[in-house]
Amino acid sequence: MPTTEPELPQDPAVRRKLTRRGILAASAGAAAALGAVGMNVLQTNQPAIAHGQLRAEPLIPTRNRGIILYSVRDRITAAPDDSGVPYGFERVLARLAELGYKEIEFAGYTQHSSILGRQITPAEIRKILDDNGLVANGCHVSINPATFEEQMDIAETLGMKNLGTGSDPTNSSYTADWDAAADVWNDLGRQARKRGLRLYTHNHDAAYSFLLDAGPLDANGRPTRSSGTRRLEYFFRRTDPRYVFFELDIYWAYVARFKHQKYVDRYGHERTDLFDPILNVVNQSKRFPLFHAKDGNRNSALANGHEMVHFGEGDINFQQFFQTIGDPDFRHANWEQDNAPGGTTNPGQSLDFAALSYTNMSEMTIYRR
């Protein structure tokens, strides 16, 4: 490994010109790993600090370390109990602040009604955030024109700068449906920008599967083969970069790399194309302010090719990922683990995983001159 880390160009126009060769030239270790196993995973050795030439900095700045509350949804929605584990917004957010988290991504705004004898309000949640030195950095809500004004009002009350959803703009394989979704999102994103918000969507693996946009038509007049264009990559091009943004779920991006490798071209030939999560971000860098820092272990026996684990305990190389995409002040990493809740048998599990994941996130370091 080189003893100093390469600086990536900050100008988005320059960054868009980066190729796989450019990325690999920036990291010989990455090149070796990609060549050996076909994955963006490597073991990163930190350079020695000699004569004060290098200084250690957090790879993810402290102020940008967050959590989506879906990871601790069992305790947000829990009724008061005698387990000794925090429940509801006030207690859970206080605990997350104690662990070190600075940012919160919401997955709904409700808790058990027995806590207050009614449902909590966005204004009351904002006070809890402020009391604990926390900042709302986003949310997963339903995005549609009918309720968008209301969702912007809530975001404004919470002091949130990003308004988003955990669903794809459409689940379709066809460009016509993605075109229609892009028209809606461009309009909503324009409205959001007028109120100081960024509208974003969050991916699962299917978002990076291939469009059916070429070849013979089926009985309904729809294409049956592919040009090799991935769904969300088409959506990148169809949406205005001023109005529509993205949150990369890193785990699901690597699942997409495992699952969505082959397509049939317009001539009926099977083609292989490996999805690269790092290049996916670098090539439209300023459209990715948020990330789900979700970890997993590779396991080809599983349908997704990975088994979800808490952050830092899997083999996704977050060191390489965040170091290569750069712009640490712009990036906000929200820990997520879908299976963190432990249920009634282990009500403290999700918060225990939150503690371990924060520790592992905080220990990732980059060395600079």
Reported as a pLDDT band with limits 50, 70 and 90, residue 52 is: low
For residue 3, is it within any domain?
A: no
CA–CA separation, 320 and 325 (whole Å): 9
CA–CA separation, 262 and 210 (whole Å): 8
State whether residue 263 is helix, strand or coil.
strand
For residue 250, is it within any domain?
A: yes
pLDDT tens string 129-141 = 999 999 999 999 9
76 pLDDT above the threshold of 50: yes
For residue 1, is it within any domain?
A: no
Reported as a pLDDT band with limits 50, 70 and 90, residue 55 is: confident
7 pLDDT above the threshold of 80: no
For residue 187, is it within any domain?
A: yes
Q: What confidence score (pLDDT) does residue 368 get?
A: 80
209 pLDDT above the threshold of 60: yes
Domain harbouring 86, CATH code: 3.20.20.150
Q: Which residues of 87-103 are buried (b: 16+ CB within 10 A; e: fewer)?
A: bbbbbbbebbbebebbb
Q: What confidence score (pLDDT) does residue 49 get?
A: 52
Q: Could you tell me the two tokens for 70?
A: 């879906």
Reported as a pLDDT band with limits 50, 70 and 90, residue 77 is: very high
pLDDT tens string 248-283 = 999 999 999 999 999 999 999 999 999 999 999 999
Task: Provide, rounded to the nearest whole percent, the portion of the chain with pLDDT above 70.
Answer: 86
For residue 47, is it within any domain?
A: yes
22 pLDDT above the threshold of 90: no
Mean pLDDT calculated for residue range 170-199: 98
Say whether pTM exceeds 0.75.
yes
32 pLDDT above the threshold of 90: no
For residue 6, is it within any domain?
A: no
Contact by Cβ (8 Å): 174, 213: yes
Reported as a pLDDT band with limits 50, 70 and 90, residue 75 is: very high
pLDDT tens string 79-100 = 999 999 999 999 999 999 999 9
Reported as a pLDDT band with limits 50, 70 and 90, residue 44 is: very low
- Show the CA angle centred on residue 68, arms to residues 365 and 162, nearest 5°: 95
For residue 76, is it within any domain?
A: yes
Q: Could you tell me the two tokens for 239?
A: 């949406």
Please tell me the total number of residues recorded for the chain in this structure: 369
pLDDT tens string 144-178 = 999 999 999 999 999 999 999 999 999 999 999 99
Kindly list the distances between the CA atom of residue 173 and the CA atoms of 33, 132, 211, 249, in Å, as whole numbers in the listed order.
Answer: 32, 44, 5, 20
Reported as a pLDDT band with limits 50, 70 and 90, residue 45 is: very low
**Range(s) of the domain holding residue 325:** 12-368
Mean pLDDT of the chain: 89
Number of domains in the chain: 1
For residue 252, is it within any domain?
A: yes
Cα 351–chain centre separation: 20
Reported as a pLDDT band with limits 50, 70 and 90, residue 51 is: low
pLDDT tens string 294-346 = 999 999 999 999 999 999 999 999 999 999 999 999 999 999 999 999 999 99
Q: What confidence score (pLDDT) does residue 192 get?
A: 98
Q: What confidence score (pLDDT) does residue 18 get?
A: 42
